[in-house]
Amino acid sequence: MKLFEVKIFHILTVVLLTSEATLRPIESDRYHNYDSLTQLLHEYATAYPHITQLFSVGQSVENRELWVMRITDNPDMQEPGEPMFKYVANMHGNEAVGREIVIYLIQYLCDSYGRDDRISGLVNSTDIYIMPSMNPDGFERAIIGDCGGVTGRNNANNVDLNRDFPDQFDAQPRSRPRQLETEALINWITSNSFVLSGNLHGGSLVGSYPFDDSALHKSGFYSRSPDDDIFKALTLVYSRSHSTMHLGRGCPQYSESFPNGITNGAQWYDVPGGMQDYNYLHSNCFEVTFELSCCKYPQVDNLPTEWNNNREALIAFIEQVHRGVSGFVTDINGQPIPNATIQVHGIDHTVKSASFGDYWRLLVAGTYTLTVTADGYEPRTVSGVIVTNSTGTMLNFTLFHNNKPLQPTKFLHHSNEKLEEFLHLYASKYPSITRLYSIGKSVEGIDLWVMEISDNPGIHELGEPEFKYIANMHGNEVTGRETLLLLIQYLCENYGGVTSVTQLIDNTRIHIMPTMNPDGYKKAREGDVSSVTGRYNAEGVDLNRDFPDRLNRNKKSRQPETKAVIKWLKEYPFVLSANLHNGALVANYPYDSTDSRNTLSRPAYSRCPDDDIFQQVSLVYSMAHPRMHLGESCPNMVESFPNGITNGADWYSIVGGMQDYNYVETNCFEITIEQGCQKFPWASQLHEIWEENRGALLRFIQEVHRGVKGFVKDANGVPVLNAKIMVVGRDHDITATAEGEYWRLLVPGDYQLLVSAPGYHSQLIQNVSVSDGDAVQVNFTLIASSAARSASSRVKVYILGSLAVVIILALVVMSMIVVHRRGYRLSQLHKRCLPPYPCFSNTSDDDSLLKDTDFSEKPEETI
């Protein structure tokens, strides 16, 4: 059940041992170079497949495998409750004694299993890992018989591997990447739940325990760890089991002595970047360094003596992995709870439960109080726990669910392909609260993905504000990219289980874009501190200089990524936003550019009309971050930032930045957050970075709900189009949506709000009191203006007048037709009374002539 990638070797052709019934003699007549070591390890892995597993955790600079032999009774599985132990030797290539004696140890454990009760019991109850050489390249260069030299000490890149690990007292960014061997060990250590470890060296005769250095970085200073008591006890076990180490004589050539053969590392000499401190601070593992011989690379005939001196100590030290307290952490259904925190009261150091909920806590004899906590569960405390020096104490914990949030447990960098896979996974797992959509494509055709998180994804709910995060605008600035993926995971996994998360999602439409520059990311490199490799998009354009400028100083065609974001901003009524970068540790607010027409103008505070609210929301993020608010500058910078915030142009002026465009061209208030000094930190740093930014990311989203909000409608309750909401005294308006909604961020205080719209009387509301809590709701009802009513009346009069004219004309025409027809008929009647026609006096005949025309209601004079 390993969480890291290893190479398991299935041996096809090997030199087999003749019989497991015959003990093979320890090969102490020669040193094993890389080839002979490899051959021997393969032989033992094949001869003892039921208790061994051979694998490599990585390769050296010169491509030699970093072999590890696992020895346990079930090597093909991880057994619940079985502690993991490791020995690492030959970290310094010319310190060869440790390399050879752990080779002998491998032989001894394998050959004695099933024959020696003590060894059999140890292998059956312990998961043992032995790495004979962490620096095989250096060993190949070392010189036999060289007792005090440095030839072969460092790796093939001439780096001291025991100065190459992250150091607790050194916050300076690294000038070079970590070595392959170091990275391999870091991944191995952090991917497993090792409990105890020994790091074997040469050049003295002493056991050295943490801490190996101090903030003073000077020798002779005792640098005490929280577990100083157990470290001394563990180191004494080895020293007292060693034939001569316990005498404390040290080495004559150095005129040094060590009481009982042990010493605090830093008190002896300062070692920054050492492996034993890294084990203790970044994993569950307690590691001690043992200097095994005064001569680093003695002649071969000394090896039997060294083996005899160390054999019992090596076994006795492994047995110490079972001391202290151990057990399981489960829920009420008996399901394991991994990653639970075990805290011993009075000792400022915790360990975590492993994948089966099992844990191990090394302690000296005494009575203790232990508290176990886990995300999503109520804490559990047990007092009066008795620990002896003879056998370990078993103590199990059962935890009950609560509303505490679940936390991500995997921290790694995501390629563009893995990022897309991650987003699709969470969109499919949580369809009721997520919607995955693309706003466009990069120059190289990669989708610009956005994850929407809301209780009604895909729908804009009336009155609900919209928020966005954008990261990785500069392709080599990657912290935001990874913390936003972790934020997506955190929000999804805790919705419905954690009240604060559920309320945030129910009341906010959240949009998260993990990368705006996927093309640049492909070129960036892990470990980059301050370069520009991968910063720009595929066309070599800095996307944070590509937006339209408020003074129209950068007229040019826009990049596809920029166009996509601009279109996106116009489609959604965003209220608040943050753009996540790297290269400093500060929250940066508008304006980013000065008012100078010179695009290369010198830094100067460029105040926007909403300077106070921008300072407020920037402080919210800074103060929620454990270090940002301290205002410390990065090592490569001279600036410092009071309270961890700065006006953009006062830091340095840029033209065409995205945050200014948001503020000037949309309703959205955006700030830029620089999340760390290193642009592309190592994956091993991501957990700490997430812990530092998690609370700040969540707290900043909540700021979208501050200030004033409401609706603008007419007297009939219809939304008023193009309504402008103005804060009297501030030269920055916002526009209501098509539904009449508005959100206006403001700091606490009393305000006057003025709303206007074409065709309506403006409405002024005074004494609007804004608190530090949720936004106050202020609705507006606009009345159509008199000019609008007059215009409406004029239209009505014009229409009615036109209709009247048409009617009159129609009547005139009809009258003319009637007169014409009557005149014609009368003329025909008159003709009948003239000679030679007789004149008729019968009126009925007249009526018959006029039967087509009704004059009954029309007097003749009217006609």
Which sequence positions are flagged as catalytic? 291, 674
Number of alpha carbons in the 13 Å side-chain half-sphere of residue 178: 26
| Token duo for residue 325 | 């307290």
The whole-angstrom separation of Cα 656 and Cα 663 is 12
CB 619 within 8 Å of CB 690: no
Neighbours of 828 (CB within 10 A): 10
Q: Look at residue 440 and give its three-state secondary structure.
A: strand
Neighbours of 817 (CB within 10 A): 10
CB 333 within 8 Å of CB 302: no
DSSP 630: G
Considering only CA atoms, which of 37, 44, 2, 29 is closest in space to residue 133?
A: 37
Could you tell me which residues come within 8 angstroms of residue 429 by beta carbon, excluding any fewer than 6 positions away?
A: 492
DSSP labels, 298-312:
--GGGHHHHHHHHHH
The whole-angstrom separation of Cα 742 and Cα 575 is 9
Q: CA triplet 245, 250, 255: central angle to 5 degrees?
A: 170
- Secondary structure, 3-state, 16-30: CCCCCCCCCCCCCCC
The whole-angstrom separation of Cα 825 and Cα 836 is 19
The whole-angstrom separation of Cα 69 and Cα 86 is 10
The whole-angstrom separation of Cα 452 and Cα 460 is 11
* Token pair 């100065």: residue: 163
Q: Look at residue 44 and give its three-state secondary structure.
A: helix
Instruction: Give the chain's end-to-end CA distance (angstroms, integer).
Output: 114
Task: Give 408-411's long-range contacts (Cβ < 8 A, gap of 24+).
Answer: 408/486, 408/489, 408/490, 408/690, 409/338, 409/339, 411/482, 411/486, 411/683, 411/686, 411/687, 411/690
Sign of the torsion formed by the C-alpha atoms of 834, 838, 843 and 847: negative
The whole-angstrom separation of Cα 644 and Cα 448 is 30
CB 84 within 8 Å of CB 2: no
Considering only CA atoms, which of 494, 487, 426 is closest in space to residue 457?
A: 426
The whole-angstrom separation of Cα 720 and Cα 740 is 6
In b/e form, how buried is each residue of 662-682, taking b as 16+ CB within 10 angstroms?
bbbebbbbbbbbbbbbbbbbb
Longest dimension (CA), the chain: 172
Considering only CA atoms, which of 123, 51, 23 is closest in space to residue 82?
A: 123
Do the bridges between strand 286-293 and strand 325-331 make them parallel or antiparallel, or are there none, so unpaired? unpaired
Number of alpha carbons in the 13 Å side-chain half-sphere of residue 400: 3
Considering only CA atoms, which of 690, 720, 355, 743 is closest in space to residue 577?
A: 743
Q: Look at residue 129 and give its three-state secondary structure.
A: strand
* Token pair 């151990």: residue: 326
| Token duo for residue 735 | 């526009």
Q: Look at residue 225 and give its three-state secondary structure.
A: coil
The residue type of 841 is S
Considering only CA atoms, which of 134, 170, 434 is closest in space to residue 287?
A: 134
- Listing from the earlier edge strand, what are the strands of the sheet with 734-735? 734-735, 724-727, 749-756, 763-770
